[in-house]
Amino acid sequence: MSERVIPLVDQRLTGRRATVPARHIAPTGLLGDALGRPLRDLRISVTDRCNFRCSYCMPKEVFDKDYPYLPHAALLSFEEITRVARQFVAHGVQKIRLTGGEPLLRKNIEILISQLAALRTMEGQPLDITLTTNGSLLARKARALRDAGLQRVTVSLDGLDDTVFRQMNDVDFPVAEVLRGIDAAREAGLGPIKVNMVVKRGTNDHEILPMARHFRGSGIVLRFIEYMDVGATNGWRMDEVLPSAQVVKRIAAELPLVQLEPSAPGETAERWGYAGADGAHDPNLGEIGVISSVTQAFCRDCNRARLSTEGKLYLCLFATEGWDLRSLVRGDLDDAGLAAAIAAIWQGRDDRYSELRSTLAPDTSGGARRVEMSYIGG
């Protein structure tokens, strides 16, 4: 059993100062970073709380009853989130994903969804508004979320075997309730639905085929995610990573697969469709996706920014530090100044941790640690 590492630095208490450049960069919808990557996707964490204690994200040993969550006054209000999101949209964002923690724990989140759903791109098009959830509260909230303007949901589900699932969420939550939430989301019209399974070798990799069989032909896209070295609390080890290529090989041995084209530029998932009797992809059988952030980096196409629940802007899932936008939002800065500050930060972005992972020496200094996934979402 690997030893837990407790982070020495709480990223919620630190951050880089965001400044407004002397020369404002007017939004054109075409903002690029230092490597030429456009800004298209904004992931917004609405809470740092979760009702699960998955070992790869919020292990109970760290996130116990005494863990100091952010006070409500520290969180961005819905109006503040919407104001920030509006500036990102002006710079080219087309998709907003709400995350957590568990986003459905944020009280009245439907109000935020309705505010974000009213935003329009530079071309006058509505945004793609989606939400990632552990599914525990989805059955009771699905209809209200859809009525508020949410279009899609992604549900985290790490296995169908109830014993395995309860072990992984570490709060004894039954898998049947998550499946009920998925059914409720489908009935409410939240789709297409995606299901994400984090695969940890030796823990739940035997659930790969049962999951594939269950969701094949259901209209739900099942995605397998390599266990990642996010943050400092999950005791990550490379030997617990099952490469996506092996996941595909296991499934294809029983359920033949055909590789599909990416659905959009910057798409993190490699797509594989189930083959019919003729060997070609049968759309009625659906598809799977594999997200290979450890063995096959996709940094060069990454177009995502992440906003933490209290207003820090992170440019990479593996970042050690974020930019403090809350101080700007709560100051007397106008929207043009806020947009200019965001543009300056993005233009300086050169993050590509996953591409460089194998060349980086382990950090034994006790210094800055990578941000926790539970804090800025996956």
**Cβ–Cβ < 8 Å for 314, 322:** yes
pLDDT in tens, 48-59: 999 999 888 898
Number of other residues whose CB lies within 10 A of the CB of residue 166 = 15
Q: Can you point out the beta strands (E) in 1-121?
A: 16-17, 41-45, 95-99
What is the reported pLDDT for 360?
A: 55
347: phi then psi, degrees, rounded to nearest 5: -65, -25
C-alpha 243/C-alpha 40 separation (Å) is 28
Mean pLDDT over each residue of the chain, to the nearest integer: 89
Indicate the range of 122-126, 332-336, 358-362 predicted with least confidence.
Answer: 358-362
Whether the predicted pLDDT of 371 surpasses 90:
no
What is the reported pLDDT for 373?
A: 65
Q: Which of 3.20.20.70, 1.10.490.10, 3.40.1410.10, 3.40.710.10 would CATH assign to domain 11-193+301-376?
A: 3.20.20.70
What is the reported pLDDT for 229?
A: 60
What is the reported pLDDT for 6?
A: 43
**Cβ–Cβ < 8 Å for 283, 274:** no
What is the reported pLDDT for 266?
A: 63
Whether the predicted pLDDT of 235 surpasses 70:
no
pLDDT in tens, 183-225: 999 999 999 999 999 999 988 999 999 999 999 999 999 999 9
Half-sphere exposure of 156 (CA within 13 A, CB side): 25
What is the reported pLDDT for 193?
A: 98
Per cent of the chain over pLDDT 90 is 72
CA dihedral 226, 15, 38, 339 (to 10 degrees): 150
Q: Can you point out the beta strands (E) in the chain?
A: 16-17, 41-45, 95-99, 128-133, 152-156, 194-199, 221-226, 257-259, 270-274, 287-291, 304-307, 312-314, 323-324
Cα-Cα end-to-end distance for the chain: 25
Q: Which residue has the tokens 């990550």?
A: 236
Whole-Å CA distances, 240 to 68, 212, 347: 30, 21, 36
Whether the predicted pLDDT of 20 surpasses 70:
yes
For the residues 159-178, what does the mean pLDDT come to? Answer: 95
Whether the predicted pLDDT of 233 surpasses 60:
no
This prediction's pTM: 0.89
What is the reported pLDDT for 8?
A: 38
Task: Report residue 376's pLDDT band, with 50, 70 and 90 as the boundaries.
Answer: confident
Number of other residues whose CB lies within 10 A of the CB of residue 260 = 14
Indicate the range of 247-251, 320-324, 368-372 predicted with least confidence.
Answer: 368-372
Whether the predicted pLDDT of 95 surpasses 80:
yes
Q: Which residue has the tokens 């050169």?
A: 350
CA dihedral 186, 115, 308, 177 (to 10 degrees): -20
Task: Report residue 366's pLDDT band, with 50, 70 and 90 as the boundaries.
Answer: very low
pLDDT in tens, 289-336: 999 877 776 788 899 999 999 999 999 887 888 999 999 999 999 999
